Amino acid sequence: MSTQARERPSEAGEDAPQPAADVRLEGVRKSFGDVVAVDGVDLEIDQGEFFSLLGPSGSGKTTLLRIIAGFERPDDGTVWLADVDVTNKAPFDRDVNTVFQDYALFPHMSISENVEYGLKVKGVGKQERRSRAEEALQMVRLPGYGKRKPSQLSGGQRQRVALARAIVNRPRVLLLDEPLGALDLKLREEMQIELKRIQQEVGITFVYVTHDQEEALTMSDRLAVFNNGLIEQIAAPADVYERPATEFVAGFVGVSNVLEREGQRFVVRPEKIRILEQGEEPYAGAHVESGQVRDVVYVGMVTRYIVDLEAGGQLTVVRQNLETSSQDVLEARGAQVRLEWRPEQTYEIGERGQMEEDE
Ligand SMILES: Nc1ncnc2c1ncn2[C@@H]1O[C@H](COP(=O)(O)OP(=O)(O)O)[C@@H](O)[C@H]1O
Ligand SMILES: [Mg+2]
């Protein structure tokens, strides 16, 4: 078992003077009647960071984003943007822009007019509006689309226009609430890469809400995992995956492979477990357990085995389909197997409340 306790991920330049956080939340709370949507959140998001709020539906992500944007007032707590207390400021007095999932473009306006709209409201001159809009469209890889109407674009292209419409204002912080939720999987994956590129190019701080763990892992510099209005962990993607702070995080980000042995609870990720061949010797130092294959799921590139362990508990094991066919794989159902993994690839987890003070 890993002896490493949950420590704060080491970040580059820890000794260097830190620039002011772009977004800082302290003790933020918000209820709607009996429903506690945000239950005391502390958070710091650095300048230029791609930061995700990840959690299941109803965990308070949108409410927190709306509090940062100024569309909701917190019942308690403070919101700072670049060290200015904006808790009681109106949305238009905050240097932020929001991109929603239903990014309703104005249907009667051209793409250029849609993108220029915010600048026009601010009284920016026509010449500058044009050039900034064209620049923003270039940024989202839609140069020359300015004259079209929204109905003449695909869903993915419209989503890019919505993004251009926000970044054209050059806000300090861009808030995005499940902006890719309406797109099909393939397009969503493409847009994830695009969004990340755009964010790096413009250098704007992104606060990105999603319930999709893969999306959060793909794009974020760091992420906060939400559960019931509370943050369970804040860390870089690899740390959240490999060193989940709580059982909830272990199950929400990845497959919940949690076992209890000798009074210790730990997570072991499915890809770290090997199914031993018949008669194969485990390597020295491996942790070995016997069990029975309860279920087999063939998913093309890999197969997932669900194994009931003799010592109690259940594990999911993922194996690449190198030489096995779907037929071989299905025959494994009900088989007795031995599993092995390296003790150092397990990670001990605690209950909530045992997280580090500084997180
Ligand atoms: N305007 C509102 N009125 C009443 N309840 C609300 C309102 N907005 C959100 N909630 C409740 O607050 C909780 C958190 O919601 P939300 O922030 O939208 O979660 P998420 O975005 O993570 O799905 C949910 O239980 C939701 O029903
Ligand atoms: Mg939401």
pLDDT digits (tens, 9 = 90+) for 175-200: 999 998 888 888 889 889 989 999 99
pLDDT of residue 8: 42
Q: Which residue is associated with the tokens 């037929």?
A: 327
For residue range 68-95, what is the model confidence (pLDDT) as tens digits?
999 999 999 999 999 899 999 999 999 9
Helix (H, G, I), strand (E, B) or coil at 252: helix
pLDDT of residue 10: 45
CB within 8 Å of 50: residues ≥ 6 apart: 196, 199, 206, 208, 219, 220, 221
Q: Which residue is associated with the tokens 């409410």?
A: 63
Ligand 1 atom closest to the Cα of residue 53 is 22
Number of Cβ within a 10 Å radius of residue 248:
22
Calculate how far, in angstroms, residue 102's C-alpha sits from the geometric centre of ligand 2: 12
Ligand 1 atom closest to the Cα of residue 65 is 17
CB within 8 Å of 57: residues ≥ 6 apart: 211
Tokens of 88: 């009681």
CB 207 within 8 A of CB 62: no
Q: Which residue is associated with the tokens 């704060």?
A: 8
Q: Which of 341, 351, 354, 355 is nearest to 269 (CA)?
A: 341
Q: In whole angstroms, what is the distance from residue 253 CA to residue 193 CA?
A: 20
Q: In whole angstroms, what is the distance from residue 90 CA to residue 237 CA?
A: 33
Element (H, E) at 124: none
Ligand 1, residues 28, 29, 30, 32: which to mutate, most atoms within 8 A of Cβ? 32
pLDDT of residue 17: 58
Calculate how far, in angstroms, residue 318's C-alpha sits from the geometric centre of ligand 2: 31
Backbone angles phi, psi at 81, to 5 degrees: -120, 120
Say yes or no: CB of residue 55 within 6 Å of ligand 1.
Answer: yes
CA 258 centroid distance within chain: 21
**Residues in the chain, total:** 359
pLDDT of residue 356: 42
Strand residues in the chain grouped as ranges (E): 23-32, 35-45, 50-54, 76-81, 84-85, 96-99, 173-177, 205-210, 222-227, 230-235, 258-261, 264-268, 274-275, 287-299, 302-309, 314-320, 336-341, 346-348
Biggest alpha carbon distance in the chain? 78
Q: In whole angstroms, what is the distance from residue 12 CA to residue 59 CA?
A: 31
Tokens of 223: 């992420």
Q: Which residues of the chain have pLDDT under 50?
A: 1-13, 352-359
pLDDT of residue 308: 97
Q: Which residue is associated with the tokens 């477990």?
A: 273
End-to-end C-alpha distance for the chain, whole angstroms: 23
